[in-house]
Structure 1
Amino acid sequence: MVGRGFVVDGTLDPVGVLEVLTRPRVGRVLAFTVLSATAGTALSLVLGLPAAYVLSRVAVPGRRVLRALLLVPFVLPTIVVGVAFRQVLGEGGPLGFLGWEQSPVAVVLGLAFFNAAVVIRTVGAAWESLDPRPGEAAAALGATPLQVWWTVTWPALRGAVVSAASVVFLFCATSFGVVLTLGGVRWATVETEIYLLTTTLFDLRAAAALSILQLVVVVALLALAARSRTPVAPVARARTTPRRPRVSDAPALAMTALLLLFVAVPLSGLVIGSLRVRGEWSLGNYRALAGRGEQEALLVPVTEALTASLRIAVDATWMALGLGLLLSVVVTRRSHSPLERRLRGGLDALFMLPLGVSAVTLGFGLLVTLDSGPLDLRDSPVLVPIAQALVALPLVVRTLVPVLGGVDDRQRQAAASLGAGATRTWWTVEAPVIWKPLLAASGFAFAASLGEFGATSFLARDEAPTLPIVIFRLLGQPGEMNYGMALAASVVLAVTTATVMLAVERLRVPSLGAV
């Protein structure tokens, strides 16, 4: 990408990059990216913080079910979230009279729907771990509930809130499927603009310039957030059990109910819309998935695309697991010098780049790199699994590293002193504690690969699309059947990914949002 953006005919030409960044449309795109990400982050915090409090402190009926329902949106593919909001906000939808279809409001709502779960998971985990005794002592000395919150609770939670806000802002700024579906060409972010420049205008240099700019800004924001972040509250020695609701909890309970409604309405609209054909209840949209849509809108049936998605997700999962496990073992081994420690930290940061770099940038980078010579993989069936494995790799590493890092190195030394080789030591010491996190990492990788849309949109071949690609193509084709098939395919994809992630949730292994 650096070569495409800065080098022309073998000569460094930074003026060309500046020309791209001074275009009027690029300025509007940059402004909308910042504004939409800021608004999406703010709305996610407003909706997520009260729910995090309720789920961690108040014993509401069905608390575990409620937690699972509120965490479902984050595991849904972004294209599914976009389709769900289009169904609700579009013409004929329950909120269609507001005229918000493909508008900035729709984009912000979609971003908040997707990311409120990150706030719940990150801040909720910190809230559950707070030691209750300082607050109780402050109350016993006459502090009001507001004073207890401001002097005791908030300082302990500030690190978790900053962490959640920085991650949510990153996800909002690099969201692709939600913005492309709800914003269209007019309301584009850097993420969707890179896609449009590449696939529609074929301006690879401008796309490369924006990709580099996005990378620099994201890294700078993450570094700034890391410097401003205070340590997250340590695990309390005495944890409070959730108590019965009080009158003072009414505002938080009301906001939690509002968030539940905010989650339920788009998902319900998606399911109901998929079951309606010409104003009548029918499974016709699901039966049509065996075909190619109205006026042969697709090159392959939707069922074939689903099969391809599952196969690619399996391949991407074992690739991500293999590389992620090896990397986790390397970075968690004890360092014997400061240089070795820095090298291990640098290696860990290198493979975390797909978390900070958008999937669109990753896909575009692979597109312009693996297109010639011995690395020409443009027509290879392994290119898409490789891209999806790189997207899923940070999830695997961030799940396994805390577990392997917690293994006492003295256990390995004891096994070795008793004559166990490296392989026997691994199976004896580390395998018993890592098998459950390894299953969880498999679920994370599989779900992320199954719903991946950004990188795959550049790399998937027309005759072998994945299910998210097929959904997007159906949305772009006229015809009631095509739209109904897009709804039905979105439901199938949502149910599949949600089932996988809910199974992972039962393993009680922290996901990305809690790391």
Structure 2
Amino acid sequence: MDLARPEVKRPAARRRGSAARRRGSAARLGLMALPVAFFAVFFAYPVAAIVARGLNIDGVWQFGRIGEVLARSDVRQVLWFTTWQALASTALTLLIALPGAYVFARFDFPGKQVLRAVVTVPFVLPTVVVGSAFLAVVGRGGLTDDLWGVRLDTTVWAILLAHVFFNYAVVVRTVGGLWSQLDPRQEEAARMLGASRFAAWRTVTLPALAPAVSAAALMVFLFTFTSFGVVQILGGPAFSTLEVEIYRQTAEIFDLSTAAVLTLIQFAAVGAILALHAWTVRRREAALRLVDAATTARRPRGAGQWTLLGSVVVTATVLLVLPLAVLVERSLGAAGLGYYRALTRDDGGVFLVAPIEAVGNSLRYALAATVIAVVIGGLAAVALTRRDAGRWVRGFDALLMLPLGVSAVTVGFGFLIALDEPPLDLRASWILVPLAQALVGVPFVVRTMLPVLRAVDSRLREAAAVLGASPWRAWREVDLPMVRRALLIAAGFAFAVSLGEFGATVFIARPDNPTLPVAVARLLGRPGDLNYGQAMALSTILMIVCAVALLLLERLRTDRTGEF
């Protein structure tokens, strides 16, 4: 008699499980609604508008232009250089930055918070400023030229080093964020069973880190694939990426049809890369055992660990701090604080306001963009948490990364062309700049939160659902405690990216409300030592503002009320 009772209960349990899965699917669709609408209106629509403007001439679609542009040898050469320099930059960045990710994840040492903030600062600096700083270090009359007679400007090595300078923080914070939460006892157990240190790391830790490493590599590749300012300043006329060529065809030659074709090529290439990334990551994802990051970091032990720490500090100093020091030195120059005092005066030549007001504008825009990016990206990351989602959901995961791979020039012009009529006439609205900045911030939020969310054991969510918890309560009770740290890392990245965004903002920021990167670029575009000195002073202010913001964010890591 008792043996029959489980047969009665099993259908009920299955019904409860099916109902829970249906509620989960409905909740996932609801979470995706806002991100889908946001990207459709503020990304797909403007980009489609600018491409249509270039290919639809007098009401006739000129699709033959695609074949004509692809047949040009100069275009094929640009596409080849764009691809291989992005691959080389990504490999070099991973090679140099992964030891730094390990040091920040596993070691506890004096000045760690300051150093973490310092390595993140380069990521937000405008490309024109970084290009000028590297030119002063490796160019004619630069540091290497004076000391050893070595010049790297107009060579690919200057481009690759500048790309590592930019993207070092992406690897350190994305990979290090997950690495610091991996339980080290799993690797220790493998060593107790006889595995060498390298074998234990290769078989236990590396597979767990694969999604984060892949996400970091993807972001680095997309940033270098669309590199503009660095290539234009350091590469000279000998090197040109797709982004540089799109800008040249749009702003200098005014050939919108060729620019539209190049945009489609860039779009297709990035889409293929994202599809490959989604497929490889999905095959490697697994539930991980995550612990409090504060319990995994300890002081270095032995000569080997202290040597590793020292090498990371030396690398960060030479590669990251030196160009920043050049900015500070040039902001002072022979005039002392004269360049900074000049920022408070309006000469009526470059802006309608004093250049110093760009600081407040950038902070307000960045805060608004961060809120938008965290909301949109957070909803998207939660919706994409389940690994058994359908193809269209996984496709949306890849599409979220497209703003990093589409030309910022195209997005900026698209905003001006598409968002100029009711009910979306936003050209005179202040929200236009944060919206453009948030487009770049959302992918960082998604890529930072998604590996951690997917690392949470799905059986915990299923158990909560079977016990009657709603999808919102299950997420709040199961996922949120594990992802608080990732959420704050994502917010920090979004804020930093918004501060330094230049490509799209330069077309939509009004003269009476410039951002810091726009102000720097306009000052650099004017001749004279005073304008150049003011540009370096504003760059130094941007660097300091970012460093202070990141230091405040780092202090949250020691707050016992929440993890970061």
Identify the TM-score tier after normalising by the shorter chain.
Answer: 0.7 to 0.9
Distance 1:241 1:436 in 2: 15
- Measured against aligned partners, the alpha-carbon deviations of 1:407-449 in whole angstroms (never above 9, x if no partner) come to 95987999999xxxx99x89x9799969988776655444332
1:136-285 mapped onto 2 (5 Å cutoff): 137-138=190-191, 141=194, 144-149=196-201, 154-184=206-236, 186-229=238-281, 230-231=284-285, 234-235=288-289, 242=298, 244-249=300-305, 252-253=308-309, 255-256=311-312, 257-277=314-334, 282-285=336-339
1:80-159 mapped onto 2 (5 Å cutoff): 80-97=129-146, 98-101=150-153, 103-128=155-180, 129=182, 131-134=184-187, 137-138=190-191, 141=194, 144-149=196-201, 154-159=206-211
- Which residues of structure 1 form unaligned runs of 5+? 510-514
Amino acid at match of 2:76: G
SS for the counterpart of 2:504 is helix
1:47-58 mapped onto 2 (5 Å cutoff): 47-58=96-107
Counterpart position of 1:500: 549
Distance 2:239 2:557 in 1: 39
Q: Which of 416, 425, 445 does residue 367 from structure 1 map onto?
A: 416
Distance 2:358 2:365 in 1: 10
SS for the counterpart of 2:356 is helix
- The Cα shift of 1:463 comes to 5.2
How many residues in Structure 1 have an aligned counterpart in Structure 2? 496
Amino acid at match of 1:289: L
Counterpart position of 1:310: 363
Amino acid at match of 1:285: Y
Distance 2:485 2:213 in 1: 28
Do the aligned partners of residues 135 and 488 (structure 1) sit closer, same or farther apart at CA in structure 2, a change above 3 Å counting? same
Does the 8 A contact of 2:123 with 2:497 survive in 1? Answer: no
- The Cα shift of 1:114 comes to 1.2
Do the aligned partners of residues 411 and 249 (structure 1) sit closer, same or farther apart at CA in structure 2, a change above 3 Å counting? closer
Do the aligned partners of residues 67 and 292 (structure 1) sit closer, same or farther apart at CA in structure 2, a change above 3 Å counting? same
Q: Which of 515, 525, 546 does residue 466 from structure 1 map onto?
A: 515
Distance 1:246 1:306 in 2: 45
Distance 2:412 2:452 in 1: 30
Q: Which of 55, 58, 64 does residue 15 from structure 1 map onto?
A: 64
Q: Which sits farther off after the overlay, 298-307 or 408-417?
A: 408-417
Distance 1:353 1:302 in 2: 33
- The Cα shift of 1:316 comes to 3.5
Distance 1:310 1:64 in 2: 22
SS for the counterpart of 1:507 is helix
1:6-45 mapped onto 2 (5 Å cutoff): 6-45=55-94
SS for the counterpart of 1:477 is coil
- Measured against aligned partners, the alpha-carbon deviations of 1:52-82 in whole angstroms (never above 9, x if no partner) come to 2333345555444433433333344444433
Amino acid at match of 1:33: T
SS for the counterpart of 1:277 is helix
Amino acid at match of 2:260: A
Distance 2:244 2:232 in 1: 6
- The Cα shift of 1:116 comes to 1.7
Counterpart position of 1:286: 340
Q: Which sits farther off after the overlay, 74-83 or 24-33?
A: 74-83
- Measured against aligned partners, the alpha-carbon deviations of 1:351-387 in whole angstroms (never above 9, x if no partner) come to 5532443433322332343356764544554433332
Distance 1:42 1:96 in 2: 27
- The Cα shift of 1:492 comes to 0.8
* % identical aligned pairs: 45
Amino acid at match of 2:324: L
- Measured against aligned partners, the alpha-carbon deviations of 1:290-318 in whole angstroms (never above 9, x if no partner) come to 2357x945554312333433343344345
- The Cα shift of 1:140 comes to 5.6
TM-score, normalization by structure 1: 0.79
Distance 1:202 1:367 in 2: 16
TM-score, normalization by structure 2: 0.73
SS for the counterpart of 1:465 is coil
SS for the counterpart of 2:289 is coil
SS for the counterpart of 1:287 is helix
Q: Which of 470, 484, 489 does residue 533 from structure 2 map onto?
A: 484
- Measured against aligned partners, the alpha-carbon deviations of 1:295-346 in whole angstroms (never above 9, x if no partner) come to 94555431233343334334434544565566677x37999xx99x667666
Distance 2:200 2:372 in 1: 49
Amino acid at match of 2:95: V
Does the 8 A contact of 2:270 with 2:402 survive in 1? Answer: no
Do the aligned partners of residues 4 and 395 (structure 1) sit closer, same or farther apart at CA in structure 2, a change above 3 Å counting? same
Amino acid at match of 1:53: Y
Does the 8 A contact of 1:126 with 1:160 survive in 2? Answer: yes
Distance 2:251 2:428 in 1: 17
- Which residues of structure 2 form unaligned runs of 5+? 1-47, 559-563
Distance 2:277 2:310 in 1: 31
Does the 8 A contact of 1:60 with 1:245 survive in 2? Answer: no
Distance 1:155 1:446 in 2: 30
